[in-house]
Amino acid sequence: MSSLPHHKVCTRLRASKIHGIGVFAICPIKAGTMIFPGDQTDMIWVDKSALPNLSPAEKQMYADFCLHRGDRLGCPSSFDSLTPGWYVNHNPTDPNLTYSLQDYSFYAARDIAEGEELTANYHLYSDNVV
């Protein structure tokens, strides 16, 4: 029998007190756990110079969902394929996730309780952080 769709899923999206939508633990998560092991969303790099003629709403998607590195943006290959990892909110002082620059993966920095919002320090992997 094949696994049900929730097998090995430890997070879900819901409204956040930090910002808009956030990612929340649906079960306890042990320190060191890879948070989104099935996330195979391709990321592409776009030059910021390609964006000036976009609408304000389109520009906001790049601001909200891309990694900013110098003159380039790391984006999902399509904004229609955003996965929960793109909704992790910023916490500069006490994030519960760490981030791997090698494979763009999130890991639990400490034990995370069921119901807790997952956060990362964007400064570790993106230049443009407000």
Sequence ranges of the domains in the chain: 1-38+84-125, 40-82
- 112 pairs with which residues across the strands? 29
pLDDT given at position 129: 67
Q: With contact defined as beta carbons under 8 Å apart, do 95 and 81 qualify?
A: no
Residue keyed to tokens 């097998």: 7
Q: With contact defined as beta carbons under 8 Å apart, do 89 and 117 qualify?
A: yes
Dihedral angle of Cα 68, 47, 36, 125, to the nearest 10 degrees? -20
Q: Chain-centre distance of CA 36, in angstroms?
A: 9
Q: What Rg do the C-alpha atoms of the chain give, in angstroms?
A: 15
Cα separation, 54 vs 25, in Å, equals 35
Mean pLDDT by 10 residues, the chain (130 residues): 76 96 97 88 90 94 91 93 93 94 90 98 80
Model pTM score: 0.88
CATH class of this structure's domain 1-38+84-125: mainly beta
Cα separation, 47 vs 67, in Å, equals 12
Q: What share of the chain is helix, strand, coil (3-state, %, to 5)?
A: 20, 30, 50
